[in-house]
Each structure stands twice: as C-alpha cells, then as structure tokens.
Amino acid sequence: MAEIIRSIRGMNDILPEATPYWQVIETILKDVLAGYGYQEIRFPIVEKTELFKRSIGEVTDIVEKEMYTFEDRNGDSLTLRPEGTAGCVRAAMQNGLLNQTQRLWYMGPMFRHERPQKGRYRQFHQIGVEAYGFNGPDIDAEMIMLTARLWKALGLKGVTLQINSLGSTEARLAYREVLIAYFEQHQSELDEDSQRRLHSNPLRILDSKNPEMQALNDAAPKLIDYLDEESKQHFEQLCQILDSVNIAYEINPRLVRGLDYYGKTVFEWVTDQLGSQGTVCAGGRYDGLVAQLGGKEATAIGFAIGLERLVALLEATEALPEIKQTDAYLVAVGEQAMAQAALLTERLRDELPGIRLISHCGGGSFKSQFKRADRSGARWTLILGDEEVSNQTIGIKTMATGEQQTIKWAELPSFLSQ
C-alpha cells in the first residue's frame, strides 16, 4: 500500500468538530466590526517578497527567518503572506482607497516558518483590522474599545490590555543611541540574536523571547522617558479616553512589537492562561508605512487577533460559544418511504428556512439508520416507513427522552418549529 502523505509540520487541519465554533466566533467578530463601520477587504495570500521586506523591515524575526519565500516559474521572488498589514496597505494604495479615510478588516491564513508549539504554528489565522487617514488618538481608542467589545461579545475573560508609545521616528532614533550605549555596557550578557541586532536594530532586543534576556531588558532605559511632545500628548489623550470608557490598561514600557513599521501607540491583549504564547491580539500605529511603500503620506493604525490562540483561550476558560445542533434526522425504510423522503424533506426546508435537517442517504435497515440518527446529535429522529406513507403520517422520536409519537405530515412544520 502507498504511504499516506501527511500535512506539513505546523500546518493544521481544522476538523468538522471544531469548525462550528470557528464559524460562530467569526460571525461574532464580523458583527462587532460591522457595528463600528469596518468593511471587509480581501487580498491575495501571495505577494512580491519585496513588499514584506520593505514594510516589516529586514532586521526582524519575520523577514530574517520566518518567511515562506520561493521563486515562481517566471523567476520572480514571491512570499506567502506572514501577516496582513502589508498586503492591506498595498491593496488600498493600488486601488485608490487612501484618498479618503478607511476602516477595513480581513481574515485568513498567514504563514511563518517558526518552531511549531502550542499557540505557534506555521499556518495560522488572523483577523486583522486597519484604519487609514485618521491622525488623532480617538481612532487608537476606537480600535481598543472595539477589541474590548469583541471580548465582551465572545464572553472572553482573562485578557489584559498593555499599551505603550513608541514615539516619533526622531524620538526612537534618539532612544536608539541611549539603548545601544546601555547594551554595549552589558555586551557579554547579550545572546546571539541580540549581539547581531545591537547596531542594526537594538529596539528589537527588548522584544526578545529569551528568558535569559529578561532581567537585562527590564533594567534597560525606557522609551517612554524619551518621547517627543506630540507623541506624549497623543498617548496621554488616548489614556484619557480609555479611562473615560472604563477600559483598564497597563503601561508596559518594554512593549515594542516585533515589526519595524510601528510608531506612537502600540498595544497587546495578553493572557497568562496559554503558556508563553500569551498574546492574543496585537497592534499599533504605523503612520510611516504608506509613504515607505511609495504612497502619499497617510496615517494608519491596525491590529490582528490570532484566531488559534483566541479559540484556545475560549476553550481553556470554558467560554466556547454555543453551537447550533442538528434539529432532525430522517430515516426512511421501504420503497415508498424512500421515494417520499426527498419530497418531504425538501418541503420542510422550504417551509422552515434555517432548519438543520439531515436526510438519511444510502438505505440500510432501521437499526443502522437509527444508529446514524443517534450519532448525528439530532434533537428528533423522523421515522418514515411504507405504512406511514400510505397514512401520510410520520413517527417522531425525541432523542433526549426516547419518547415516540406519530403525527400527520401537515403538522410537521409546526411540530419542528417548537
């Protein structure tokens, strides 16, 4: 026998037992987003490699070691998107959406060649949200209020909000020098990644996941003490709005985010219930990116939620949403009954839009059909034999109680809508 071909490590199948939860969660997320006026945008999964290099930054985990990059048949270098922001900006720019303000969202798979572990996969899913053309802290606050409402709508508990400001480019440049000087004094304590980044991208050292770097990073000078006046005001106003709507937050001076394009506001929603992969949602302002990608100056802010982590957290906190069960499963035995089954079930679907009705296919004995009905999780089993057909009746078994009764076909729609 031929060997079974298995999936790629870190790329998971989401099976039928799990997809109903994903669907409900996605619907809740979409409804909240629509409630704030955000519109969906869809863009390709593959883009030119250059797009990600230029936006995410050359000296980042993603571009240095996580991208799925390949040459296509024309010899062009393409990359499976590791995140959505770059593609979203590209699509908005290319299609003239940036001439006015935009509130956008997208959802789909992202690809990063990381070491697979709980909460960290090579194909994972994000819902991403971006807003373009808004300068003030009001939109930063809106994004955060929106995420807080998402958690509320999902019944999610146990996430806390961390915020920080990365300031203006100039402020970051000044801070960069201070940080380099600090790390140079502790050069022997730096791990290999940090050594390499010391001069190319020292802020990224603060984002290190290496626990041995923790103490050194904790004692490092803080960017928030080097902020420019405008960023400081922007941040203070954001905090005021969050206070006014009672959203609790913690200011985390070491929150720098792993991507190059951020400035001013950054934020993360974190949990301690998923081990070390505890960031469920992350984002921030990236006012410079549009110009960096060749467009006209346009301010921007966005965030992304990791859906695998969100689902895992809902599961861990026993807050998975309720999913719809099958209403009825129809079993049919006998020539007349089998001939009638299609007509009867189609009529029910016409009369009761939204009914979840499984019609047994493939024949077989009552016993084997009942077994299937049982396994389907249906609330009722509808039983059709030749005798029922000649009387225009149908047997109904209520699966929870085992109670059985016979009713007229004409009564079925009202029975099933109880």
Residues placed in the known binding site = 83-85, 112, 126, 130, 257, 261-262
Residues at the binding site for L-histidine are 83-85, 112, 126, 130, 257, 261-262
83 interacts with ligand ATP by CB under 6 A: yes
- We find the least distance from the C-beta atom of residue 202 to ligand ATP, in angstroms, to be 17
284 interacts with ligand ATP by CB under 6 A: no
260 interacts with ligand ATP by CB under 6 A: no
Out of 30, 68, 69, 114, name the contact with ligand ATP by CB under 6 A: 114
Which residue number, 19 or 101, has a Cβ lying nearer to ligand ATP?
Answer: 19
304 interacts with ligand ATP by CB under 6 A: yes
373 interacts with ligand ATP by CB under 6 A: no
Which residue number, 220 or 266, has a Cβ lying nearer to ligand ATP?
Answer: 266
156 interacts with ligand ATP by CB under 6 A: no
29 interacts with ligand ATP by CB under 6 A: no
285 interacts with ligand ATP by CB under 6 A: no
302 interacts with ligand ATP by CB under 6 A: no
Which residue number, 124 or 249, has a Cβ lying nearer to ligand ATP?
Answer: 124
Which residue number, 262 or 370, has a Cβ lying nearer to ligand ATP?
Answer: 262
- We find the least distance from the C-beta atom of residue 25 to ligand ATP, in angstroms, to be 14
- We find the least distance from the C-beta atom of residue 68 to ligand ATP, in angstroms, to be 12
Instruction: Please state the three-class secondary structure of the chain as a single string.
Output: CCCCCCCCCCECCCCCCCHHHHHHHHHHHHHHHHHCCCEECCCCCEEEHHHHHHHHCCCCHHHHHHCEEEECCCCCEEEECCCCHHHHHHHHHHCCHHHCCEEEEEEEEEECCCCCECCECCEEEEEEEEEECCCCHHHHHHHHHHHHHHHHHHCCCCCEEEEEECCCHHHHHHHHHHHHHHHHHCHHHCCHHHHHHHHHCCHHHHCCCCHHHHHHHHCCCCHHHHCCHHHHHHHHHHHHHHHHCCCCCEECCCCCCCCCCCCCEEEEEECCCCCCCCEEEEEEECCCHHHHCCCCCCCEEEEEEEHHHHHHHHHHCCCCCCCCCCCEEEEEECHHHHHHHHHHHHHHHHHCCCCCEEECCCCCCHHHHHHHHHHCCCCEEEEEEHHHHHHCEEEEEECCCCCEEEEEHHHHHHHHCC
Out of 88, 282, 300, 301, name the contact with ligand ATP by CB under 6 A: 282
Question: Count residues contacting ligand ATP (CB under 6 A)?
Answer: 18
Q: Which residues fall within 8 angstroms of residue 246, CB to CB, at 6 or more apart?
A: none
Which residue number, 129 or 412, has a Cβ lying nearer to ligand ATP?
Answer: 129
- We find the least distance from the C-beta atom of residue 112 to ligand ATP, in angstroms, to be 5
> In terms of C-beta distances under 8 Å and separation of at least 24 residues, what long-range contacts does 137-141 make, across chains too?
137/234, 137/235, 137/237, 137/238, 137/241, 137/265, 138/241, 139/301, 140/234, 140/238, 140/264, 140/265, 140/285, 140/301, 141/238, 141/241, 141/242, 141/245
279 interacts with ligand ATP by CB under 6 A: yes
Which residue number, 159 or 416, has a Cβ lying nearer to ligand ATP?
Answer: 159
112 interacts with ligand ATP by CB under 6 A: yes
Out of 280, 290, 373, 416, name the contact with ligand ATP by CB under 6 A: 280
33 interacts with ligand ATP by CB under 6 A: no
Which residue number, 148 or 282, has a Cβ lying nearer to ligand ATP?
Answer: 282
- We find the least distance from the C-beta atom of residue 306 to ligand ATP, in angstroms, to be 2
Which residue number, 111 or 370, has a Cβ lying nearer to ligand ATP?
Answer: 111
140 interacts with ligand ATP by CB under 6 A: no
- We find the least distance from the C-beta atom of residue 121 to ligand ATP, in angstroms, to be 4
- Helical packing angle, 19-35 and 137-154, nearest 10°: 140
Q: Which residues fall within 8 angstroms of residue 62, CB to CB, at 6 or more apart?
A: 52, 56, 82, 83, 112, 258, 259
Closest CB to ligand ATP belongs to which residue?
Answer: 306
124 interacts with ligand ATP by CB under 6 A: yes
Which residue number, 167 or 306, has a Cβ lying nearer to ligand ATP?
Answer: 306
Residues that bind ligand ATP (CB under 6 A): 83, 112, 114, 119-121, 124, 126, 258, 277, 279-282, 304, 306, 308-309
